[in-house]
Amino acid sequence: MFKLPDRMEEIWLLKAKGLREIDIAENLDISKQAVNKALKDARTKLFEMFLSLAEVFGFEVVRINAEKGFMVATSRELKKRIYFFYIPKMGIRAFFEDSKFPEYLLKHSLELGLTKNLKKEELIEILET
């Protein structure tokens, strides 16, 4: 399963929620350098995960955001948009544009500040702009 190590995930999630590196360091009682290193590693790992998925399944990559942990891609076979999200403790989850977005995904997007409401349309608008 594509998943970040627990500690790295914790640091990445705090940053994705908008905390500054210095605040994360204070919260977790670690050095700012350790936070910075963990975030760099997390970004690289997320890029690698998303790009590997796209390569293996032959998806056309449109957008990869390692800061908030999502990828927008297109399935060449189905000619459909697919949205990938890195969800803490779950790993990467994929959703077709015409599928129902589960509540946990909408809540996750709200927590990260991607959206202001629990609405699929709002989330897609953000991802596609």
Q: How far is the CB of 100 from another protein (least distance, A)?
A: 19
The alpha helices in the chain, defined as continuous H runs, are 6-16, 21-28, 32-57, 103-111, 120-127
Q: Which is nearer to another protein, 44 or 99 (CB)?
A: 44
Q: How far is the CB of 111 from another protein (least distance, A)?
A: 18
**3-class DSSP state for residue 1?**
coil
Q: Which is nearer to another protein, 103 or 115 (CB)?
A: 115
Using CA atoms, how far apart are residues 61 and 104, in angstroms rounded to an integer? 24
Binding site for another protein (CB under 8 A): 40-41, 43-45, 47-48, 51-52, 54-55, 60-67, 72, 74, 125, 128-129
Using CA atoms, how far apart are residues 118 and 48, in angstroms rounded to an integer? 29
Q: How far is the CB of 125 from another protein (least distance, A)?
A: 7
